[in-house]
Chain A
């Protein structure tokens, strides 16, 4: 039950885009058509689902204060948490490259669909954000951390597909010229964010 709560919370209440603005750059750049938005969204779910559990293990067995005590009791007071940023981003970048190679080798069709998005994702703030939130919120098991990761990915997917659908329609509207394109996208995202805040009232 707890896992379901974390999942729903990550999708709606703590939505990566609408509550924390993470991954906005690619969200704005790749949301011109629904098709590409679906591709990027799927890639984000996938990469979050892989990197956050790995970073969770790294955090709990290497970086945290006292995390190294499984090697020998003498290392119980070693605290490597200042290395967290470098380790997390290195893991993300390495896994993205690895995933890219594996997908290219074993699933060329999937690579055709996700291929160009994978390199973009290494610098997508929502991926590193997922790792940093995982660290900040201290999930107690790896199952919780993975659920949170996949939930955040699904929330991001939902947001980018929704804005892409709106942008496809809005092309035909009569908007003040200086507001066209980027400006109106920002304002729509703001309004969607306000709508998503309605979920905050839900207590789970």
Chain B
């Protein structure tokens, strides 16, 4: 659940000092929220059938993590330690409600497909993990960068999984047709979509394979 990853960050000199840049780049690979910290799997897998859903989900998480990190970091000296979990949850829930309303207003179809998973961003462990491990102990600007880095790390895994699933399972990418209609068996060709890739369990297998590839390239992540 909570992999303690609080980085001891001193007040930054410049806005994009080396330490601050590392806050963004670290979660992309060495400290990826999904493949290394194992956070936020809950909502990550179910919505990766289509790239469009994955992108919308990633942007929602990005908004909630960055803004939430900033709010909590700004309030970090005011929140009493004993009730901090509830305080964090309420801030998260408020932001998620806003995101949900915005999605319903502007991309209604996607919001229908993403369904309960937008609500589940509240309990997305990335959120609580970053709020608890980073924002409670750091200033506003590093917290915003940390949120940005982690949600980008989350986003690239999501989009990668969704890309494989949409191309193999549906023959398209972002709704654009990649495999021409005329290739399909129904139109006289010999091509079939791999319907198995649309099934939910395949998302797990794909993430397993991404972890495999990542760890064979980045050997310091291998578990003993």
Contacts and interface: CB of A to CB of B under 8 A. Distances in A.
Interface residues of B, number: 51
A178 interface: yes
A19 B116 CA distance: 14
A89 interface: yes
A86 B94 contact: yes
Interface in B159-208: 199-205, 207-208
Interface stretch (B37-45, B49-57, B67-75, B134-142): B37-45
A180 B45 CA distance: 21
Contact of B86 (A85, A90, A124, A180): A90
B9 interface: no
A183 B116 contact: no
Interface stretch (B12-20, B21-29, B117-125, B143-151): B117-125
Contact of B120 (A22, A29, A90, A93): A22
Interface size class of A (residues with CB under 8 A): 35 or more
Contact of A89 (B1, B35, B123, B204): B123
A182 B86 contact: no
Chain A interface secondary structure, helix, strand, loop or mixed? Answer: helix
A127 B199 contact: no
A187 B86 contact: no
Nearest to B218: A178
B42 A193 contact: no
B46 interface: yes
B85 interface: yes
Contact of B85 (A19, A119, A185): A119
A133 B39 contact: no
A94 B86 CA distance: 8
A22 B42 contact: yes
Interface of B: 1, 35, 38-46, 85-86, 89-90, 92-94, 96-97, 100-101, 115-116, 119-120, 122-125, 128, 199-205, 207-209, 211-216, 219, 221-223
